[in-house]
Amino acid sequence: MDENSKYLELFFEETDEHLQSLNEQVLELEQHPEQSEIVDVMFRSAHTIKGMAATMGFDTLSKLTHKMENIFDLLKNKTIQAESDTIALIFDCLDTLSDLVEDLREENDVERDISALVDRLNEAAEGKAASADVQSEEQTEETDETDETFNLSLHNLEDSDQQVIENAKENGFQAYVLAIKIDEDSGMKNARVFLVMSKLEQQGDILYVEPHAEVVENEDFGSVFKLIFLSKLDEETVKNLALDNSEIESVLIHTIKDDDQLVAVVEEEEIEKTAMTESPEKKAEAEKKEHISKQPEPVQKTAAKTSHKQAMNHSVRVDIDKLDSFMNLVSELVIYRTQLMDISTQLQANELTEPLEQVGRISADLQELVLKIRMQPVSAVMSRFPRMVRDLGNDLGKEFELVIEGEDTELDRTVVSELGEPLIHLIRNAADHGVEMPERRTEIGKNPKGQIKITAYQEGNRVVLTVSDDGKGLDPAAIKASAERKGIETEGLNDKELQHLIFHPGFSTASEVTSISGRGVGMDVVKQKINTLGGTIEINSEINKGTTFKVNLPLTLSIIQALMVKVGSETFALPLGVVQKIIKPEAAEIVQVHDREVYLFEEAAVPVIHLNEVLGIEATNSSNLHLVLVKQGDNHYALAVDDIIRQQEIAIKKLGKELSMLKKYLGATIMGNGGIIMILDIARICHSSQEEESEY
């Protein structure tokens, strides 16, 4: 375990991806049981998990996955059908695998008992899996008898390989042929191949592998595999890299020279120079191999071969803390760039203009790059929802159609990582409280299958997520009755305010506690989590038509374009992404309607919000009044400010827990002169204004 500990993080990442893929593929197989290619994808994912688990020494995980493979094999051969019982069994296995992985991640040493699950898998196989295993062993033994050429011969290389090697040498790389023999008693030979290749690819590029990927995947290659490796390391170091893996018996290596013919067998004297483990048995074995024919046997070329000619890896895994540090440094760069520009303007130093423009361009490109690096599609969270909705339907006896739109919409990865919990609460509540039972839906003329819809889209510098259902909606009367029973004050609340009581801690309208919801927790957690992320949540619900929860989140938590405005004697920053237009109105264009002021824009009455009143700042007699037209959802608002200063790029700094009561601000930014400017939360300000307007 110690020697493989550095691969633990890679193991968790790869296993999580394959488990998610398996969940998605099983859902697809349930809908389309006739498509055998789905089982092929499932088989590859399970086989990879089994190989990695065996390599890391996680025997329980490896054993369970192996038993699952038997079921997949029977599905592939049409021996058993993808019926509901089989699908449910596979999902139970996937849930147990996820639990096992979580135990390992949390270093929980409790041994889970999988015997009951293994018995169910054996019963499902009806004894046919055992015969399949025997057949597989016979094929492996037959392969072992025919694949005994532990030498450096390679088959069917193309002219392009020689050209790649020559180009690599011009760039300072050496090309090596390696033949690697795995211990005969190794439990997972294909996993050993993966581990050796993974270690080598950290120091160079693998150009060619023999046998091809499908043979390695099925463990039909005996004990020897060969490859061409490009690296700047010396021969001895490369040999040690390959040998420094458990269950590797010996390694042959040859440095390819300019006059070597790659399609021929390497000469005997070169074999004598190869690095092998120096035991007498190994030397005797080498002498025995010298008498084997050098003529390569023809093998069929496959499309998979092209994958071994790829360039150096184009992606690397980076710790999130390093990205956070990178972001903070770029934020500081923005602050000091602004400070330099202010100093240059004050001193009228024209000779600094061009260098500062270049610094501005480079820093802008840099911050755009770091923002893109941190962005992640919300599909990273949404991919788990189809399986969850399926299970909810089975548990509740309901039918659901899940619709997901805009899953490619990107958010800051710190927001995405925290988004799963609130969205899960919203979906579970939609399934349990929102969508009616099929019989009831039929009675009132609805489709027996309820719809749960999740959408995501970008709106300015924010992202909007909605979770909606076509169920019974939120009944204000039922909410009021439930609130009064719990001692919550409801006097004078309108219907919308009553609906928002579901966010009150401990509130629930469920008449009985279920495994899904109804314990009086959940919705308050949703609101608290979204507020922590700098977002807001709104409710739009109609009785017997459905409910929509609208979550408004910041696109990024770091650097934004802002509009600097004057309110009274104070300066504030508005996120530029929500700004539609800046208007300098005539006095007659702002009309008093009841107790509200509106501005007529494109034949529509837009509510005017005086920021000095919202922020509690003394009004000025400024004749330079401007209206900043912003859009929130489908509504427009006109923010009245005393002056427009300029557009500027700013770095957002969180206010911290001590100032968490300041609800009207996204955060603060530090200006070039060291001053601190507050950043207004336009979504919250407009939402508060809309609630006040609904009271009239």
User: What residues are labeled active site?
Assistant: 47, 69, 429
In terms of Cβ atoms closer than 10 Å to its own Cβ (0-12, 13-18, 19+), residue 3 is exposed
Matching residue, tokens 């390093």: 322
Q: How far apart are CA 325 and CA 395, in angstroms?
A: 45
Tell me the DSSP string of 458-508: EETTEEEEEEEE-SS---HHHHHHHHHHTT---TT--HHHHHGGGGSTT--
Query: Which amino acid belongs to residue 254?
Result: H
- Give the contacts of 104 (CB within 8 A, at least 6 positions apart): 12, 58, 61
Q: How far apart are CA 218 and CA 195, in angstroms?
A: 16
565 strand-pairing partners: 572, 644
Structure tokens at 616: 């509690």
Torsion angle of the four alpha carbons 181, 187, 191, 197, in this order, in degrees rounded to the nearest 10: -20
Listed residue (660, 684, 650, 685) closest to 330, CA to CA: 650
Angle of CA points 147, 153, 154, to nearest 5°: 95
Tell me the DSSP string of 139-150: HHHHHHHH----
Query: Which amino acid belongs to residue 157?
Result: L
Listed residue (550, 499, 540) closest to 683, CA to CA: 550
Pairing assessment for the beta strands 596-601 and 590-593 based on DSSP bridges? antiparallel
**Type and span of the H or E element at 662:** none
Q: How far apart are CA 502 and CA 506, in angstroms?
A: 9
Cα-based distances in Å from 153 to 178, 211, 252, 308: 10, 12, 11, 17
Tell me the DSSP string of 207-261: EEEES-HHHHHTT-STTEEEEEEEESS-HHHHHHHHHSSTTEEEEEEEEPPTT--
Structure tokens at 621: 């007699």
Q: Where are the beta strands (DSSP E) in 336-448?
A: 375-377, 400-405, 410-412
- What are the backbone angles phi and psi of residue 670, rounded to the nearest 5°? -100, 125
Q: How far apart are CA 682 and CA 563, in angstroms?
A: 12
Query: Do the Cβ atoms of 255 and 273 come closer than 8 Å?
Result: no
Matching residue, tokens 């919250």: 684
